Amino acid sequence: MPITKDLIAQHGLTDEEYQKIVAVLGREPNLTELGMFSVMWSEHCSYKSSRAFLGKLPTEGPHVVQGPGENAGVVDIGDGLVAVFKMESHNHPSFIEPYQGAATGVGGILRDVFTMGARPIALLNSLRFGPLDNPKNRYLFSGVVAGIAGYGNCMGVPTVGGEVYFNEIYNHNPLVNAFCLGIARKDRIFLGRAAGVGNPVLYIGSKTGRDGIHGATMASDSFDEGSESKRPTVQVGDPFTEKLLLEACLELMEKDVLIGIQDMGAAGLTSSSCEMASRAGTGIELELADVPRREQGMTPYDLLLSESQERMLLVAKPGREGEVLDICKKWDVDAAVVGRVTGDGFLRVKDKGVVVAEVPARALADDAPKYERPAAAPPYQDHLQSLSLELIPEPADCNAVLETLLASPTIAHKGWVFEQYDHMVQTNTMLRPGSDAAVLRIKGTDKALAVTADCNSLYCVLNPYIGAGIAVAEAARNLVCSGARPLALTDCLNFGNPERPDIMWQFILAVEGIADACKALKIPVVSGNVSFYNETRGLSIYPTPVIGMVGLIEKADRAVSQGFKNEGDAIVLLGETGEDLGGTEYLRAVHHREQGTPPMLNLDREVALQALVLKAIERGLVQSAHDCSEGGLSVALAECCLSAPSGPMGADVTLDARGLRRDSLLFGESQSRIVISVKSNDIITIKALAVETNVKLSVIGFVGGRKLTLSIRDGQGRANVWIDRPSRDLDIIWRGALRSALESGEERG
């Protein structure tokens, strides 16, 4: 088939990129080779618009065993064990086919972790959808949640938490980011490298079909009216096969028969083979006639670009391929020797002995184009950040505001979501979904790991630098509230079309914000993912740099949750409240404005706050801890009351006005604040620690009763009650809001 301009464009390549391919090969590519370059040089696989900036992120630290560049990041947790984790996006597939898109996103992130030699112990997800009064959004939301549940539950890996946001900007571009955590022995880490000339290359897992062909290219393009016709590019998952594949891989690793192993994810057999060869500085020769397949008439193009799920490419030790085949047979996993490692640096593909593609492996994997695209602030940025508080009336009925915020789907209890997930399988889960972080015990030790995912995209569109920094700080704050010391993070950077200068401006600032926050908090980035082209008909999503973070609790019995525990405990606010109403959920939900400058982040204060809370928890002084985020202090206090283990509790709280607006005090989202509860006789000790760490501390009330009461004391010492609601009533609103939004949307539809 002749290579035409139209064919080049259909493969998502520019004329300049095509000429580079010709220069690399010293000839015109054939159709199969064009397809290989198309997927490997796609934005999804090559990171061609982001690589120039990702180097700003700190990637080293005392606990880091493996940083970015492999299938997942690895950190040392002591006792000869490591935590292995990563987060990835499956946004485009989930819009086209929500159940399978989300399910295969879970399957892919599981493989990224167990291919490193780790047994997965937990899943998280970060999800974004448009409002639920839209039938399409309800369909997407329900399908994605069902897909996550269907795959994770069948795999026997608990989905223990995450986040769900709703905003009109995600109407045509939902975000589905999946996170997986696994545990491995430090001396049993496996890498995706094809080392050792002559070593056998094996294919194991599901047979190859035509599903998912050009999935990577599709994920590197914006949406339009015809996007749903791309359904054939969405992979189809089989969790039962993946479970067998997982057990087979872990046994192969235990038997020490492997040199390297790589998941066949985006770009399938092409990406796994060229990446393994490129990392090792070797080549690979493949024989396609030996590849297991489930469809007749598949061409080399189909076999190399298929993204059929539940597949791995292995390099076995010399003479050990028979053992690999035997173990795979035991687990009922298809397996075949499909090639060998070579020393010439080429990915050479044969079909029945005839060479059908011959490309330098490095040209596909590491030498893809790298762009520094134009970047400029959009003309609307000044308008976004402009906010005159004089035009915002203070609420007369703060009870109604609190109820509105608790009923907001973004803030509302996510029981409808996580009750579909099996979050207790494996019996490691200590803190279930719904607290600041999930906590999982590490069996055989006294330790536990805490995991969380976080990003406020509204902050990020108002100021990408501040918003991204806050995402890092809040994720760390969530871990600290559970009693965990943050170890490292993985990120999933979701943005619009990088060919637009305003999107690149957002991206660059967000990366800088993450980098600076990570450096201040001493938290390295060990893995991650970039998802561009989240845009439909020229309308981009808000910049959404999601942070997944892992922390270590040395003594699992010290883990802390957000719910109040005991009548009479003192309620303590750590940190300072300012006039921070810009970008708040209050401003959006009550005043229908998405404007202003997000709350300022003082990293020195954040470091001090987290150090104080960790010290207090380690000394056994903290009964509960919860950070202040969306909805501000009033929502944080309500969630502490409503998350009490014994059922809704009350609290009596009095705040000092200090010249602040009452909506700032009650609903502002000032950063670096945590609400803790302590026994009354520990107040003096906590105050001493606060002085020692230079953190502002205020005893603002006590746990007790059946109501949440919030008063504000003016400069003359007079206290006025602004919130006074039975906890049971607030609980009904909070827990029922998401289901109610779904049901009322269906009725209107």
Q: What is the DSSP string of 385-430?
A: H---GGGSPPPS-HHHHHHHHHHSTTTS--HHHHTTS--SGGG-EE
Is the torsion defined by CA of 316, 317, 318, 322 positive or negative?
Answer: negative
Beta strand segments in 139-240, E: 159-166, 175-185, 200-205
Separation between Cα atoms, residue 473 and residue 93, nearest integer Å: 30
pLDDT block averages, 10 residues each, the chain of length 749: 90 95 96 96 94 96 96 97 97 93 95 97 96 95 96 93 95 96 96 97 95 60 53 75 96 97 92 96 98 94 94 97 97 97 98 97 94 94 90 94 97 93 82 88 95 97 98 98 98 97 98 98 97 93 98 96 97 96 96 94 98 97 97 98 96 95 97 98 97 96 97 90 97 95 73
Is 90 marked active-site?
A: yes
Separation between Cα atoms, residue 424 and residue 382, nearest integer Å: 47
267: left (phi over 0), alpha (psi -120 to 50) or beta: left
Separation between Cα atoms, residue 8 and residue 16, nearest integer Å: 11
Separation between Cα atoms, residue 112 and residue 216, nearest integer Å: 16
pLDDT of residue 232: 55
pLDDT of residue 280: 96
Is 413 marked active-site?
A: no
Say how many CA atoms lie within 13 Å of 315 toward its Cβ: 29
Separation between Cα atoms, residue 530 and residue 548, nearest integer Å: 13
DSSP letter at 162 equals E
Angstrom CA distances, 143 to 102, 140, 688, stand at 8, 5, 51
Residue 63 CB neighbours (<10 A): 21
Catalytic residue among 90, 413, 423, 626: 90
pLDDT of residue 221: 56
490 has which bridge partners?
A: 527, 548
Catalytic residue among 44, 63, 423, 626: 44
Separation between Cα atoms, residue 478 and residue 474, nearest integer Å: 6
pTM: 0.95
